[in-house]
Amino acid sequence: MSVLLAPSSSTEESPQHPSGADSGAPRRGMRGRARYVARNWWALLLLIAAGLAFLVPLYVLVTTAFKTNSEIYTWPFQWLPTEFTWDNLARAWEIAPFDAFIVNSVIVTVIGAVAKVTLAVFAAYAFAFLPFPGKRFLFILMLGALMVPGHVTLLVNYLTIGQMGLINTYAGIILPGVASAFGTFLLRQHFLSLPTEVFEAAEVDGAGHFRKLFSFTLPMSIPAVATVALIAVIDEWNNFVWPLIITNSVNMRTLPIGLMYLKANDGMTSWGVLMSGTLIVVIPMLLVFLFAQRYIVSGLTGAAAGSGK
């Protein structure tokens, strides 16, 4: 009997071990997280402080745009408006022609970003895969363009656009910025990180450069292209100095210049009106960034992977 009972006793005790392990796993996980927080509390505090440094001004911008003047100048500061008003936005629209500003900004941003990304894709593919004389020298020369401040070329660009008769036109605003040295560099580095076996197989099948670009390179480079497109959109939308110089009529101004126009015509007394105009400029790019920000890390990581080639 003892021989027969021994296995039964062992089988009865064996289920206790997994249950004990399952109950102890969450505790060990909680203790591990607690130890991580204890060791890295300063990093978490810095992360919270950095987040507040970005979120608090944005929150003040949004709430001020919908406050009355009496609440804006009240001390201590009121974090929430007691009276939600649209008067500031309506007055900003009356003072400045924001409808024309929005149309101009959309046209310049869409056409300029598409042209910038298109040229960057073709130039990056050429630097990555096409053999041609002076390739390395031209690439170094392009990298040197990254070190030249944009304001240095303002006079040359203005004289060139003036001789072409494109002052106060969309083409005059867009053309000087269609070449993106940073976008070309970023895409070239990403293209170099792509697997060479794919392109070798495509060449065996008789694929040309256009087919390799559109059927293989671009589908594998969507994060990098999206990163370049996002940067191009933000640059075109927020561009201030060049549209201010090359345009001479209010109806050709873009939104960043519209804020200056709003400030000049309403002064610095109506902060609610000025914040409403700022909100019109900020919200579109904020939404674009929130929807496309996941591509930035993967795009820049892919470019870093190809930097050693």
pLDDT over threshold 90, residue 6:
no
Quote the domain boundaries for residue 279: 88-305
Instruction: For residues 185 and 50, state if they share a domain.
Output: no
Q: Do residues 26 and 150 both lie within one domain?
A: no
Residues 132 and 255 in one domain: yes
301 located within any domain: yes
- Name the residue among 277, 190, 177 with its Cα closest to residue 227: 190
Q: Would 9 be classed as within a structural domain?
A: no
- Measure the CA–CA gap between 96 and 257, rounded to whole angstroms: 10
pLDDT for residue 70 is more than 60:
yes
pLDDT in tens, 77-125: 777 777 787 888 888 888 888 889 999 999 999 999 999 999 999 999 9
Specify whether 43 is located in the same domain as 102: no
pTM of the model: 0.77
Asked if residue 214 belongs to a domain, the reply is yes
In a domain, residue 200? The reply is yes
The answer on 273 and 146 residing in a single domain is: yes
Domain match, 165 and 121 both: yes
Are residues 254 and 109 part of one domain?
Answer: yes
SS (H, E, C) the chain: CHHHHHHHHHHHHCCHHHHHHHHHHHHHHHHHHHHHHHHCHHHHHHHHHHHHHHHHHHHHHHHHHCCCHHHHCCCCCCCCCCCCCCHHHHHHHHHCCHHHHHHHHHHHHHHHHHHHHHHHHHHHHHHHHCCCCCHHHHHHHHHHHHCCCHHHHHHHHHHHHHHCCCCCCHHHHHHHHCCCHHHHHHHHHHHHCCCHHHHHHHHHCCCCHHHHHHHHHHHHCHHHHHHHHHHHHHHHHHCCHHHHHHCCCHHHCCHHHHHHHHHHHHCCCCHHHHHHHHHHHHHHHHHHHHHHHHHHHHHHHHHHHCCCC
106 and 31 in a common domain? no
Same domain, yes or no: 53 and 96: no
| Shared domain check, 37 and 120 | no
**173: CATH:** 1.10.3720.10
Number of structural domains in the chain? 2
pLDDT digits (tens, 9 = 90+) for 151-198: 888 888 999 999 999 999 999 999 998 988 889 998 998 898 888 888
C-alpha to C-alpha distance for 82 and 66, rounded to whole angstroms: 10
Structure tokens at 28: 């060990």
Are 31 and 145 in a shared domain?
Answer: no
Asked if residue 217 belongs to a domain, the reply is: yes
Of 83-87, 275-279, 298-302, the least confident: 298-302
Considering the domain boundaries, does residue 22 fall inside one? Answer: yes
Q: Name which residue leads in pLDDT, 243 or 291.
A: 243
- Assess if residue 186 is contained within a domain: yes
Same domain assignment for residues 185 and 235: yes
